[in-house]
Amino acid sequence: MGNRLATGGICALMLGAAACAPAYAQDAGAAQASDFTLSANMSLVSQYRYRGIMQTNNKPAIQGGFDLVHASGFYIGNWNSSISWLDDSDPDVSAAVEMDFYAGYAGTLWKDLTFDVGILEYYYPGSYPGGYTRPYTTEAYLGLGYGPIAFKYSHAFTNLFGVPDSKNSQYYDLSASFETGVWGTTLDAHVGYQKVRNLDDGSYTDWSLGLSKDWGQGFSTTLAYIDTNADRNVYSNTKGRYTGRATALLSLNKTF
C-alpha cells in the first residue's frame, strides 16, 4: 500500500525527476529529443505509512521506483517498498516487499484544471498458508487538480489488501500543497476516507500535515504528522501494536 503516482497522504510526496530521454541522429546530424521521459526515485523513511496505517511496524523502510512518461500524457510505472505488515498479521505469512505497477493518462482539462486516470496493481510476493486471502489488490483511480488542491477517488475491483469479501471498497483523498515563503518549504495537508466493504468497524479517516523542502539536485526531505481514527480492535497487529496511531514521519528522497 504505497507512495505511488498521485497517492494521497504526505507521500503525495509524489516525486518528479530529471529526464533521461535518448536522442536520435537526424540525417542533418541534429539530435531529436525522444517523446519519452524516464525518471527514477529512491526514499529512506523513518517508517512506511499508507492511508495512515503502519506498513513496517513503526520501523524504517527503503523505497524506490521508476516512471516512463510519454509527451501525450500516457505513463507507466513501478514503485516498491520494504514492508512487515503481512508478517505482523500472521506468523505463517512471509512477504517482505510491496511492488506496485500502474499505468494511466494525465493532462489538462481547462487552464489550471488537471486530471489523472489510471489503474494500479498492488503485488506482494511471498508465501501464504492455505486458505489465506491474498493481499493482492487492483484499484482504478481518477484524480482532479486545481492549482495547489487535488482530489482523488480510488475504487478496488478486487478484495482490498486481504480483507475477505471487500471488493468495491473505495478511498477518497483530498490534499493540498502551499509554498510557505519560509526557507523554501512547502506545507502539505491531506485528509482521506477509506471505506472498507463487509468489515465491521473497518472504515476510517486519516489525515496528515507536514513540511517538505527541495534541496536541489534531486534531493528533498519531508517531515509529517500522521493520524487516523481507525478502530483499535480492528487495526492492531499480532505484535500488540495499534497500527493507526499518531506518528511523526521523516523521509529523505532522491530523484534521478
Task: Please state the rounded mean pLDDT for residues 118-126.
Answer: 97
Task: Please state the rounded mean pLDDT for residues 73-96.
Answer: 95
Task: Please state the rounded mean pLDDT for residues 216-243.
Answer: 96
* Structural domain harbouring 126: 10-17+36-255
Indicate the average pLDDT of the chain.
89
- Does 11 have pLDDT greater than 70? no
- Does 151 have pLDDT greater than 50? yes
End-to-end CA distance of the chain: 23
Q: What band does 239 get if pLDDT is binned at 50, 70 and 90?
A: confident
- Does 157 have pLDDT greater than 90? yes
Res 32: pLDDT: 59
pLDDT digit string, tens, across residues 171-209: 999 999 999 999 999 999 999 999 999 999 999 999 999
Res 97: pLDDT: 98
Q: Is 172 exposed, middle or buried (0-12, 13-18, 19+ CB in 10 A)?
A: middle
Res 33: pLDDT: 72
Residue 22 covered by a domain? no
pLDDT digit string, tens, across residues 133-144: 999 999 999 999
- Does 24 have pLDDT greater than 80? no
Residue 26 covered by a domain? no
Q: Tell me the CATH number at 145.
A: 2.40.160.40
The share of the chain scoring above pLDDT 90, in percent, equals 83
- Does 20 have pLDDT greater than 80? no
Please state the φ and ψ torsions of residue 146, each to the nearest 5 degrees.
Answer: -140, 110
Strands (E) in 73-136, as ranges, are: 74-82, 97-110, 113-123
Residue 5 covered by a domain? no
- Does 5 have pLDDT greater than 80? no
Residue 3 covered by a domain? no
Res 9: pLDDT: 40
For 210-247, letters b (16+ CB in 10 Å) and e give bbbbeeeebebebbbebebebbeebbbbeeeeebbbeb
Task: Please state the rounded mean pLDDT for residues 161-171.
Answer: 97
pLDDT digit string, tens, across residues 43-65: 999 999 999 999 999 999 999 99
Res 56: pLDDT: 97
Per residue, the 3-state secondary structure of 106-123, as one string, reads EEEEECCEEEEEEEEEEE
Residue 2 covered by a domain? no
Residue 178 covered by a domain? yes
- Does 12 have pLDDT greater than 50? no
Residue 147 covered by a domain? yes
Number of independent structural domains in the chain: 1
Residue 141 covered by a domain? yes
